[in-house]
C-alpha cells in the first residue's frame, strides 16, 4: 500500500491505492465483496445479485470510476439492474457496456442511461447498436442537467451531474412497475427534462498516482459551474458564506425553469444537495438550512430532499444543487422505495436467492491462419506498439497538463492505459502465431476496453480498421496502410462526430493519412512515406493551438484552450513519430 503526500497547493491527494492502472477494478472487487448480498461482479462492471425478473426492463447505467456512489452504488431494487464501470474519470468501453447489458437483459429489453460526455455517448451508442443487432431491444436516455455547461438553446450538449439520480430513479421505478421499454424510456426522459443542476468547487481533485490536482482554485476563491471530472469552472468568485452560496444556487436554478413549469405556491421539487467529496455533511446541512428558506420564500414545496454525497469527484471540495420539478408521475417515482448499496429509501422486499453466474464475456477466438510474411509484419507491429507505449509513458504528465487547460486532465493517463494494454495484447497474439491483421485487431480491442473514454474508443477503431485492411496474408505497404488508416479516419468521424477544425485528434489524423495516401500514390514505400506524413501530423498538431474546441469536454472552456494544442492531436503526432522510428530502424536492418 502506498501513501501520497499533500500537494504544494494544499490539495489532498488520493492516499490509498496500489497500481493506479488497477484502481478502478480493485475498487469494484472490494465494493462487491462488501455488498455481496446485493450485487455481483460481471464482466465490465456490477449487476444486481439476482436475475432480472421476466417482463421487466433492465436499467443499465454507468460512467467513469471515481464518482461513488455513482454508479455502482446505485445498482439495486428500484434503481439500476447493472452499472458499467470505466477507469477513473474515463467512460466504460463499448465492450464493457455490452457485457453488463448482456448480464442483466431479459425479455423486455434494456434502457441505457448515463451522463452526457463524449466518450460515454460514443461507447454506449456502440453497445446499443450491438445489442439491437443481436435482437435485444434497447433505448437510451442521456442525462443533461448541468445548466452551466451549455446555454439553454444547446441543452442537448449539457453535462450530466448529480441529476443522474433523479433520472435513474424514474427509470427504475417505471421498470419495477412493469412498464414497457418505450414507457420506461418516456419516464426517464421526462425526469431528465424536468431536472436542473449546477455546482461550485473550492479545490480540485487528484487522481490515483498523480502528483498534482487536475485543476486548482486560488485560495479564498470559488469556481462556479465546474464539472465532476475536474473540468474547470465557467466563472470564479470569492468564497461566499453558506447563506450566500445557498442564494446563488437557488437563484440560478430558479432563473431557468423547465418547459411548462412555473414557480407558484404549491410548486413541488425534489432537492439534491450533493457533496463532491471534500465538503462534509455538517457543512451541507448548514447550507441546506438556507436553501429551504429560499425555496419556501419562492412558494416552492420540497419533497423528500436528499442531502449527502450522491455523485463525488474524489477529494474535490465542492457542492452541487439539483432541483427536480415534480408532477404527479415524477413525484410518485421520486418517493418510491429503492434499495441499493449506497441509496436506500422506504422499505421494500428485496429479491434473494442464489447469485446468477455469468460466464466470461467472450470466449477467446482462435488465431486465424496467417502467412509467413504477415507473421514477420506482426513482429514489426509489436515493436511499433511497444515504441508507442514508451513515448506515451514518457509524456503522460505533459499530455495530462495539456488536457487540464480546458478539459479534465486525464488524457495522458487514459492513453497510457490503452496503449499499454494494446501492446500487451499484440505481443500475446504474435507469440501465438497471429498475422499482422489479427495482432492489430487484438490490440485495438484491448486498447478500447482498457482505456475507455473517447480517445480509447477512437484508437480502438483506428487499429481495428488498419488490421482489417492489412489482413493476415500480405506485408504492409504504403498503399494498404494508407487505405486502412483512411478507413480508421472515417470511423473516427462516424462515431466521434468531430469534423476538421473542431480541435481534436482528427485535425492531425486527417493530414497524416492524406499525406500517406499521396506518398503511396506517388510510388513511395512505407519507410519513405510514413516519416513525411509524420512531419505533416506534427505541424497540424501544433496548429491546433489556435483553434477553438467545438466538441468534447473542452468545449465549455473554449477561450482557455487558445494557445494550447489539442492533447489528442499531440499524442497522435507523438505516436506517428515513434512508429516512424521503428519503420526506419527496421529498413536499416534489412
Give mean pLDDT, residues 310-325.
95
Give mean pLDDT, residues 528-535.
97
User: Which range has the worst mean pLDDT, 189-198, 270-279, 358-367, 529-538?
Assistant: 358-367
Write out the residue range of the structural domain in which residue 299 sits.
Answer: 20-207+221-345
Distance (Å, whole) CA 470 – CA 466: 6
| Domain co-membership, 419 together with 335 | no
Q: Does pLDDT of 339 surpass 50?
A: yes
Distance (Å, whole) CA 460 – CA 481: 16
45 alpha carbon, distance to own chain's centre: 14
* Structural domain contains residue 367: no
Other CB atoms closer than 10 Å to residue 247's CB: what's the count?
A: 16
Q: What is the DSSP string of 272-325?
A: EEEE-SSS-HHHHHHHHHHHHHHHHHTTEEEEEEEEE-SS-BTB--EEEEEEEE
Compute the C-alpha angle 128/132/136, nearest 5°.
Answer: 105
* CATH assignment at residue 472: 1.25.40.340
| Domain co-membership, 539 together with 409 | yes
* Structural domain contains residue 74: yes
Residue where a domain stops, chosen among 308, 329, 345: 345
| Domain co-membership, 157 together with 263 | yes
* CATH assignment at residue 102: 3.40.50.10440
Q: Does pLDDT of 557 surpass 80?
A: no
Sign of torsion, CA 148 149 152 155? Answer: negative
Distance (Å, whole) CA 195 – CA 197: 7
- 483, 513 in Cβ contact below 8 A? no
* Structural domain contains residue 567: yes
pTM, whole model, 2 decimals? 0.85
| Domain co-membership, 201 together with 80 | yes
Residue-level pLDDT at 357: 62
Each residue of 477-490: pLDDT tens digit? Answer: 999 999 999 999 99
For the chain, what is the domain count?
A: 2
| Domain co-membership, 428 together with 477 | yes
SS3 160: coil
- In the set 81, 190, 229, 557, the catalytic residue is 229
Query: Whose CA is closest to 83, among 189, 168, 22, 181?
Result: 168
* Structural domain contains residue 359: no
| Domain co-membership, 380 together with 481 | yes
* Structural domain contains residue 272: yes
Between 326 and 213, the higher pLDDT residue: 326
229 is an active site residue: yes
* Structural domain contains residue 151: yes
| Domain co-membership, 295 together with 433 | no
| Domain co-membership, 156 together with 63 | yes
Give mean pLDDT, residues 237-252.
97
Q: Does pLDDT of 205 surpass 60?
A: yes
Each residue of 219-228: pLDDT tens digit? Answer: 999 999 988 8
| Domain co-membership, 149 together with 225 | yes
Distance (Å, whole) CA 121 – CA 574: 27
Residue-level pLDDT at 496: 83
Amino acid at each position: 500500500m502506498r501513501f501520497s503526500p499533500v500537494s504544494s497547493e494544499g490539495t489532498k491527494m488520493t492516499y490509498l491505492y496500489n497500481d493506479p492502472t488497477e484502481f478502478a477494478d480493485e475498487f469494484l472487487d472490494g465494493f462487491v465483496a462488501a455488498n455481496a448480498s446485493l450485487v455481483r461482479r460481471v464482466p465490465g462492471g456490477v449487476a444486481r445479485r439476482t436475475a432480472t425478473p421476466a417482463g421487466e426492463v433492465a436499467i443499465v447505467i454507468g460512467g467513469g470510476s471515481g464518482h461513488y456512489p455513482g454508479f455502482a452504488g446505485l445498482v439495486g431494487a428500484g434503481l439500476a439492474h447493472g452499472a458499467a464501470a470505466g477507469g477513473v474519470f474515463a467512460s466504460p468501453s463499448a465492450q464493457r457496456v455490452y457485457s453488463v447489458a448482456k448480464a442483466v437483459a431479459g425479455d423486455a429489453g434494456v434502457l441505457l442511461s448515463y451522463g452526457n460526455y463524449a466518450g460515454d455517448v460514443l461507447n454506449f451508442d456502440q453497445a446499443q447498436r450491438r445489442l439491437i443487432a443481436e435482437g435485444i431491444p434497447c433505448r437510451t436516455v442521456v442525462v443533461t442537467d448541468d445548466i452551466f455547461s451549455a446555454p439553454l438553446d444547446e441543452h442537448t450538449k449539457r453535462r450530466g451531474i448529480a441529476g443522474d439520480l433523479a433520472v435513474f430513479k424514474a427509470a427504475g421505478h417505471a421498470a419495477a412497475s412493469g412498464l414497457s421499454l418505450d414507457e420506461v424510456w418516456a419516464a426517464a426522459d421526462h425526469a431528465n427534462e424536468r431536472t436542473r443542476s449546477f455546482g461550485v468547487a473550492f479545490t480540485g481533485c487528484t487522481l490515483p498516482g498523480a502528483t498534482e490536482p487536475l485543476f486548482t482554485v486560488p485560495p479564498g476563491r470559488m469556481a462556479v459551474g465546474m464539472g465532476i471530472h475536474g473540468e474547470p469552472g465557467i466563472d470564479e468568485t470569492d468564497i461566499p458564506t453558506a447563506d450566500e452560496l445557498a442564494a446563488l444556487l437557488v437563484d440560478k436554478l430558479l432563473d431557468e425553469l423547465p418547459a411548462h413549469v412555473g414557480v407558484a405556491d404549491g410548486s413541488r421539487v425534489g432537492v439534491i444537495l450533493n457533496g463532491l467529496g471534500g465538503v462534509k455533511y455538517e457543512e451541507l446541512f448548514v447550507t441546506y438550512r438556507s436553501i429551504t428558506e429560499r425555496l419556501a420564500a419562492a412558494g416552492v414545496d420540497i419533497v423528500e430532499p436528499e442531502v449527502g454525497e450522491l455523485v463525488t469527484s474524489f477529494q474535490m471540495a465542492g457542492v452541487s444543487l439539483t432541483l427536480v420539478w415534480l408532477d404527479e408521475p415524477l413525484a410518485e417515482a421520486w418517493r418510491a422505495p429503492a434499495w441499493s448499496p449506497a441509496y436506500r429509501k422506504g422499505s421494500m422486499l428485496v429479491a434473494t436467492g442464489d447469485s446468477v453466474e455469468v460466464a466470461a464475456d467472450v470466449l477467446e477466438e482462435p488465431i486465424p491462419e496467417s502467412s509467413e510474411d504477415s507473421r514477420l509484419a506482426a513482429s514489426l507491429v509489436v515493436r511499433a506498439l511497444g515504441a508507442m507505449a514508451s513515448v506515451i509513458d514518457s509524456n503522460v504528465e505533459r499530455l495530462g497538463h495539456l488536457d487540464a487547460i480546458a478539459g479534465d486532465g486525464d488524457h495522458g493517463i487514459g492513453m497510457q492505459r490503452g496503449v499499454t494494454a494494446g501492446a500487451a495484447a499484440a505481443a500475446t497474439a504474435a507469440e501465438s502465431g497471429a498475422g499482422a491483421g489479427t495482432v492489430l485487431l487484438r490490440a485495438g480491442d484491448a486498447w478500447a476496453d482498457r482505456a475507455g473514454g473517447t480517445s480509447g474508443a477512437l484508437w480502438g477503431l483506428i487499429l481495428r480498421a488498419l488490421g482489417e485492411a492489412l489482413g493476415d496474408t500480405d506485408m504492409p505497404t504504403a498503399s494498404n496502410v494508407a487505405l486502412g488508416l483512411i478507413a480508421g479516419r472515417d470511423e473516427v468521424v462516424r462515431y466521434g462526430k468531430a469534423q476538421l477544425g473542431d480541435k481534436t485528434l482528427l485535425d492531425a489524423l486527417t493530414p497524416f493519412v492524406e499525406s500517406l495516401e499521396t506518398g503511396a500514390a506517388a510510388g513511395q514505400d512505407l519507410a519513405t512515406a510514413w516519416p513525411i506524413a509524420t512531419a505533416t501530423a506534427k505541424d497540424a498538431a501544433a496548429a491546433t493551438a489556435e483553434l477553438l474546441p467545438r466538441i468534447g469536454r473542452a468545449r465549455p472552456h473554449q477561450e482557455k484552450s487558445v494557445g494550447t494544442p489539442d492533447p489528442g492531436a499531440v499524442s497522435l503526432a507523438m505516436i506517428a513519430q515513434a512508429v516512424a522510428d521503428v519503420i526506419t530502424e527496421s529498413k536499416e536492418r534489412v
